[in-house]
């Protein structure tokens, strides 16, 4: 018997518990996939959500989905890797909701094919463009929100969406993994700097997440699933729930942390295929005494 835990994945419509009533969240890259799920989840918990994306149609579509579910949201369109545009985005949100006190840096700029080349073939100009855009995506937004909140003496939260690539390398993903490493160091550094101001900063670090553009419909017997202790890829809802925790008052004393959302991948030393004691996989219960299951 192989046991695979169930997936809960309906990110657009969730019954919330009002954990974020009165908060104003800005989610970058919220037009699709993980960002969309985060925006919908925060809205379901009562936050007013600024859906920020470079893709106007996608941002408006998410706003419509949130309104249909009874939530509050507005679309803010622009390239969030440009500091001047970030100022325009924040000005627009402040005009509508008065402030931003919950920032989620989720956007990732897929610039060219830069992030999918062997190291020996990565062009330095491409590297510089990729790093500049993708580090600015979390620096400029975090600084703009924090300056405004510090001046007002108001608390806030930053959640950065990292990747397991920050801790363990993907093959031929040098710029991507590097920028996520920078994001995690940045998170710890600003968490310490901003703590006296009551502004918390944390990362969620997803493992393999099934999204529209890279479906990971791996069955429990697929070799990729068997490398994940929980036996399945992550869902958008799994990531959104972690972002909610780090944004809400439930995590009031948590800052500077990297929160793995990866079905146990970071915890495991070796995949089961290479564990000599577990040739049939870690969740094989065939020989498990039935009386111990009750
Ligand atoms: N999908 C995964 O398996 C996975 C795993 C680990 C981490 N992550 C991380 O999660 C985050 C979201 O991943 P995803 O797969 O949903 O990404 P995605 O590429 O599907 O969506 C990214 C969104 O960001 C928007 N965007 C891109 N550049 C922008 C810019 N300059 N300004 C504003 N918006 C911009 C895009 O239009 C898009 O809507 C990323 O940070 C990614 O690194 C994803």
Asked whether residue 14 is domain-assigned, the answer is: no
Ligand 1 site, residue 48, Cβ cutoff 6 A: no
Q: Is the pLDDT of residue 216 over 80?
A: no
Q: Of ligand 1's atoms, which has the minimum distance to the CA of residue 85?
A: 32
Indicate which CATH number applies to the domain containing 82.
3.40.50.720
Domain count, the chain: 1
Asked whether residue 2 is domain-assigned, the answer is: no
pLDDT digits (tens, 9 = 90+) for 100-123: 999 999 999 988 666 678 999 999
Asked whether residue 11 is domain-assigned, the answer is: no
pLDDT digits (tens, 9 = 90+) for 140-167: 999 999 999 999 999 999 999 999 999 9
**Residue 157 is part of which domain span?**
24-293
Percentage, residues of the chain above pLDDT 90: 76
Ligand 1 site, residue 208, Cβ cutoff 6 A: yes
What gap in Å lies between CA 47 and CA 224, rounded to an integer?
Answer: 36
pLDDT digits (tens, 9 = 90+) for 7-32: 445 455 567 889 999 999 999 999 99
Q: Of ligand 1's atoms, which has the minimum distance to the CA of residue 107?
A: 24
In angstroms, what CA-CA distances link 153 with 146, 156, 164, 247, 252? 10, 10, 34, 18, 17
Asked whether residue 110 is domain-assigned, the answer is: yes
What's the confidence (pLDDT) of residue 26? 99
Ligand 1 site, residue 179, Cβ cutoff 6 A: no
Q: In the structure, what pLDDT confidence band is assigned to residue 170 with cuts at 50, 70 and 90?
A: very high
Q: How much is the average pLDDT of 221-226?
A: 80
In angstroms, what CA-CA distances link 184 with 6, 165, 169? 30, 11, 14
Ligand 1 site, residue 107, Cβ cutoff 6 A: yes
Mean pLDDT of the chain: 90
Closest C-alpha to ligand 1, atom 40? 108
Inter-residue contact 206 to 235 (CB < 8 Å): no
Q: How much is the average pLDDT of 274-294?
A: 61
What gap in Å lies between CA 138 and CA 186, rounded to an integer?
Answer: 9
Inter-residue contact 92 to 80 (CB < 8 Å): no
Q: In the structure, what pLDDT confidence band is assigned to residue 226 with cuts at 50, 70 and 90?
A: confident
Q: How much is the average pLDDT of 62-72?
A: 98
Ligand 1 site, residue 29, Cβ cutoff 6 A: yes
Asked whether residue 12 is domain-assigned, the answer is: no
Q: Of ligand 1's atoms, which has the minimum distance to the CA of residue 164?
A: 6
What's the confidence (pLDDT) of residue 19? 96
**Residues in Cβ contact with 110 at an 8 Å cutoff, skipping those fewer than 6 apart:** none
Asked whether residue 104 is domain-assigned, the answer is: yes
Handedness of CA 217, 117, 138, 59 (dihedral sign): negative
Handedness of CA 17, 102, 258, 261 (dihedral sign): positive
Ligand 1 site, residue 35, Cβ cutoff 6 A: yes
In angstroms, what CA-CA distances link 183 with 50, 63, 257? 22, 27, 12
The CA 220 to ligand 1 mean position distance, Å, reads 26
The CA 154 to ligand 1 mean position distance, Å, reads 29
pLDDT digits (tens, 9 = 90+) for 231-254: 899 999 999 999 999 999 999 999
Asked whether residue 213 is domain-assigned, the answer is: yes
Asked whether residue 264 is domain-assigned, the answer is: yes
Q: How much is the average pLDDT of 186-205?
A: 98
What's the confidence (pLDDT) of residue 164? 96
The CA 31 to ligand 1 mean position distance, Å, reads 9
Q: Quick count: other Cβ atoms within 10 Å of Cβ 51?
A: 31
What's the confidence (pLDDT) of residue 8? 47
Closest C-alpha to ligand 1, atom 1? 209
Q: Is the pLDDT of residue 4 over 70?
A: no
Inter-residue contact 240 to 41 (CB < 8 Å): yes
**Residues in Cβ contact with 263 at an 8 Å cutoff, skipping those fewer than 6 apart:** 207, 228, 229, 230, 231, 232, 233, 234
Partner residues linked to 204 by β-bridges: 161, 259
Please indicate whether residue 108 is annotated as part of the active site: no
What gap in Å lies between CA 243 and CA 237, rounded to an integer?
Answer: 10
């Amino acid at each position: 018997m192989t046991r695979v835990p169930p997936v809960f994945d309906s990110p657009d419509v969730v019954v919330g518990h009002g954990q974020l009533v009165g908060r104003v969240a800005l989610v970058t890259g919220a037009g699709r996939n993980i960002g969309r799920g985060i925006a919908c989840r925060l809205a379901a918990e009562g936050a007013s959500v600024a859906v920020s994306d470079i893709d106007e149609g996608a941002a408006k579509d998410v706003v419509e989905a949130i309104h249909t579910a009874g939530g509050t949201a507005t679309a803010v369109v622009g390239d969030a890797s440009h500091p001047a545009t970030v100022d325009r985005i924040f000005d627009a949100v402040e005009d509508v909701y008065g402030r931003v006190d919950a920032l989620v840096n989720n956007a990732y700029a897929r610039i060219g094919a830069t992030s999918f080349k062997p190291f020996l073939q990565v062009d330095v100009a491409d590297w510089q463009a990729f790093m500049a855009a993708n580090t600015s995506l979390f620096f400029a937004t975090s600084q703009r929100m924090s300056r405004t909140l510090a001046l007002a003496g108001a608390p806030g939260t930053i959640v950065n969406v990292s990747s397991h690539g920050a801790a363990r390398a993907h093959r031929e993903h040098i710029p991507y993994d590097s920028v996520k490493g920078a994001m995690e160091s940045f998170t710890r550094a600003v968490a310490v700097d901003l703590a006296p101001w009551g502004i918390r900063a944390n990362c969620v670090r997803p493992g393999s997440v099934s999204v529209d553009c890279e479906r990971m419909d791996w069955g429990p017997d697929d070799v990729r699933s068997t490398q994940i202790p929980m036996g399945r890829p992550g869902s958008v809802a799994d990531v959104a729930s972690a972002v909610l925790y780090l944004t809400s008052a439930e995590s009031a004393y948590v800052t500077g942390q990297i929160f793995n959302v990866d079905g146990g991948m970071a915890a495991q030393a070796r995949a089961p295929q290479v564990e000599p004691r577990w040739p049939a996989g870690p969740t094989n219960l065939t020989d498990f005494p039935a009386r111990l299951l009750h």
